Amino acid sequence: MRIGFDGRYAEGDLVGVGKYIKSLVLELDKLGVTCIIFYSKKPKYKITGENIKSVILPNSNRITFEQILLPRAFKDHKIDIYHACGNIGIPLLSNTKSVLTVHDLIPLQIKNYFSYSKIPSLSKYLYLFRLKSSIEKADRIVTVSEYTKEELVKRKVNPEKILAIHSGLNLLPEQLPINKAYGDYILNNGGMDVRKNTDNLIKSFSDVHKVFPKINLVITGNNSGYKKKLEKLVAQLGLQGFVIFTGYVNEGEMASLIKNAKCVCYPSLIEGFGFPVLEAFSLGTPVITSNTSSLPEIAGDAALLINPGSRKEISDAIKKVLRDGKLSLRLRELGFKQVKKYNWRKAANEYLDLYNSI
């Protein structure tokens, strides 16, 4: 079987959808599946394996790549099934069987999501068109959580066309020393933006800090515009020196940050999956996360679940973990158990069964 993959999300740093593509393709390679990855330019990191081939279709814009070059490439490389991995991107005029992975519907769920665009209304219209047409054209749709499947069904997508397959977890590499000493700290490791609810976490932390004056809040990720707003909030609350913005953190340093945190607090408003929760589980760190979207599904009973809109619930949960050593130990043990459910070999076998059924 020869499976084609949309490699555009894996052309830069292998994060998000790029990491998903890499992980899935490497496991399929071990199962003897021939994987052809189609790029629009030379990737920063090449994904290699005995059954993996890279094809570059250069000098093309998005529409040309998807609607003209890909259908030609399917014939040239005798593709049996094409797998578009990033919510959109199915060639509309191709007869090749196709699978579409929908990770989330966040662009439809967040108000003003397209405000970064010069013409937000046009960007939203084009995204909706591409999403709808890809969903209609695809032979099967994969979601990475039951939550996202339910959201699609609410939008009148045929449930028999959709299969939820949980992604696996890539274990973080060996821990690297942290250059800075953060003392005792709570970690927020999911990136910074409005959807991640970082502002409400900082407000909640101010209540925690009154009871635990030596505790710090460490926030990872890059978002210069949003960070400025958060720094103003930190100043208003008198938390300078206690809220630490690390910027980008590599995987080795991230492993150390997670491992040494008193807890990970991840009060995101909407998530299609929630890798930061699983990463914390894998390293034995207690987790506090939201009772919304996919997060209860992914966390199971291994985390303290809170209403992300409630400053009090967030702060009370943090204080509870800091005070109760037995609770922290129980969450640690439950986390180790929960994370075992998420592995790429299991996921790859489910994808292979899906491909064979088309």
Tens digit of pLDDT for each residue in 62-71? 889 999 999 9
Contacts of 75 (CB under 8 A, 6+ apart): none
Q: pLDDT band at residue 217, thresholds of 50, 70 and 90?
A: very high
Q: Residue 252's pLDDT band (boundaries 50, 70, 90)? A: confident
Alpha helices for 146-239 (secondary structure H): 146-154, 198-211, 224-236
* pLDDT at residue 317 in the model: 99
Per-domain boundaries in the chain? 2-168+343-357, 185-339
Q: Is the pLDDT of residue 82 over 60?
A: yes
CATH of 185-339, one of 1.20.58.220, 3.90.1150.10, 3.40.50.150, 3.40.50.2000: 3.40.50.2000
Task: Note the CATH number of domain 2-168+343-357.
Answer: 3.40.50.2000
Range 224-250 average pLDDT: 92
Q: What is the spatial distance between Cα 320 and Cα 328, in angstroms, rounded to a whole number?
A: 9
- Condensed to tens digits (0 to 9), the pLDDT of residues 15-61 reads 789 989 999 999 999 999 999 999 999 999 999 999 999 999 987 78
Residues of the chain above pLDDT 70, percent: 98
CB atoms near residue 108 (< 10 Å): 13
C-beta separation of 14 from 45 below 8 A = yes
Query: Average model confidence (pLDDT) for the chain?
Result: 94
**What does the pLDDT look like over 299-354, one tens digit per residue?**
999 999 999 999 999 999 999 999 999 999 999 999 999 999 999 999 999 999 99
Look at 251 and 154; give whichever has higher pLDDT: 154
